[in-house]
Amino acid sequence: MDETITLVSQKQFMIPIALNNKKTIKAWAIFDWANSAYALVISTAIFPGYFEEYTPKEISIGPMNFSNSALYSFAVSFSYIVIACLSPLLSGIADYSGRRKYFLKAFTLIGSLACITLYFFKGEPQLWLGTSAFILATIGFAGSLVFYDSYLPLIVTEDQYNRVSAKGFTYGYVGSVILLVGILLMILYPATFGLADSQIGARIGFLLVGIWWLGFAQYTFRHMPPDQVNLFSKDMIKNGYREIRGAFERIKKIPDIRNFLTAFFFYSAGVQTIIYLATVFAKKELGFAVGELVMLVLILQLVAIGGAQAFSVLGNKKGNKISILTMIIIWIIICLAAYFTYDKLTFYIIAGFVGLVMGGIQSLSRASYSMLIPEKDHDTTSYFSFYDVVYKSAIVGGTFIFGLVDNITNNMRYSVLTLAFLFVIGFYFMSKTKIKRTVSTI
């Protein structure tokens, strides 16, 4: 264990944190194990197809009509609009009051309880209960990530960013797959578990996600460095937005961070939209059943475990820039292939390629941004708050465009094709970014 100590500035106080502490790293990674249950079961594998199956194909809201897939897409957009507006405020309060763990706990509670509430979503009569709970679960998940991500530069040295970031994603994939397999068995064989039908199996799955998320997060809360709390003041409410403006002013003067975040915005819009809506596309355009959708996601997740590690190794050997550019090219091919796909076997193959690059591009993006932050600037929360706003704005933009094109054309294939253009723009700006290379010592 490296006993090096870093003193992290928190405006009015200093918190000593031991770097590269194995117990702290494990506690950090376990949170990925906990909250990835939402990312896999709710946002990717089960809930999108469940929503599409148990809600009307056309939904009217006042004078406007939406397809249920477009409404789902807009629900994702709305969730991230809310959290993009709130996260600067909350991260500013956390930074000035020292309550990083406090807000990590708060968003975890919101998200997990919302997942539990989805158990009561049976169909059209509970449409707005289900939609609202999904939005709150998404807000809880997304809101926790800004505080979770901001821990990375505070608990490990720079040469460990890639390795530890990939470790978190790997823990998340393994844990969420274990839970998903259990839920899949309840859906496919409900009678074996004494259940009336597959729908109740899916609903119990939503309940288990909330329990899993909240339960395993307790290990993280117990072993991560404690908050050092300052007295609350009214100025803290403004500090988050001041920090965002301050971070923006600093970022404008650093071309590589500016280019990276522009690239990150466009390719993240594509990546996250695909993650949220791939199973809706498979069900609506290709006729996948619930069991087939889960198998599709399992393939994606299992490949992702190796993919995150493989691209981490490539990043260490050839540099993160080469690794990210390679993955963006693969994402472009995925979008073009999906547009022309009409059979399930081909889509299974496409899902494998999605898994290959899904975890890697998220892990290396987080690590690369950490590398680009000036070494002498310990105000990491404001930098990651800005990163988080860019990320969430990208999801708003990507899912809104996807839903808009879907609603106008009534053909999700055109929506997928639109995402390819986002990746092309991301590739251009990433090619202009210089990311220094580091070599892992472990």
Length, in residues, of the chain: 442
DSSP state of 229: P
pLDDT of residue 379: 61
Blockwise average pLDDT, block size 10, the chain, 442 residues:
44 60 91 93 90 90 86 93 83 70 92 97 94 96 82 80 81 88 92 94 96 97 81 67 80 89 96 91 89 84 78 80 93 96 94 87 83 70 79 93 92 94 96 71 38
Residues pairing with 65 in the sheet: 60
pLDDT of residue 334: 96
pLDDT of residue 3: 42
> What does DSSP say about strands 64-67 and 5-9: parallel, antiparallel, or unpaired?
unpaired
pLDDT of residue 189: 93
> Which tokens hold the place of 261?
């975040």
Fold of 22-226+235-431: Growth Hormone; Chain: A; (1.20.1250)
CB atoms within 10 A of CB 7: 11
Q: Tell me how far apart the alpha carbons of residues 410 and 82 are, in angstroms, rounded to a whole number.
A: 27
pLDDT of residue 264: 96
Tell me which H or E stretch contains 374: none
Q: What are the extents of the domains in the chain?
A: 22-226+235-431
pLDDT of residue 234: 66
- Asked whether 204 and 50 are in contact (CB, 8 A), the reply is no
pLDDT of residue 441: 39
DSSP states of 249-277 as a string? Answer: HHHHT-HHHHHHHHHHHHHHHHHHHHHHH
- Sequence-distant (6+) residues with CB within 8 A of 253 are none
Q: How far is CA 120 from CA 4, 44, 188, 199, 204, in A?
A: 50, 19, 20, 11, 9
pLDDT of residue 2: 42
Q: How far is CA 266 from the centre of its chain?
A: 15
- Asked whether 418 and 240 are in contact (CB, 8 A), the reply is no
pLDDT of residue 212: 98
Buried b (16+ CB within 10 A) or exposed e, 387-426: bbbbbbbbbbbbbbbbbbbbbeeeebbebbbbbbebbbbb
Residue whose pair of structure tokens reads 């397809």 in the numeric block: 67
Q: How are the residues of the chain apportioned to helix, strand and coil, as percentages rounded to the nearest 5?
A: 80, 5, 15
| Residue 230, phi then psi, degrees to nearest 5 | -100, 160
| Burial (0-12, 13-18, 19+ Cβ within 10 Å), 63 | exposed
Q: How far is CA 17 from CA 100, 118, 143, 224, 305, in A?
A: 14, 39, 24, 10, 29
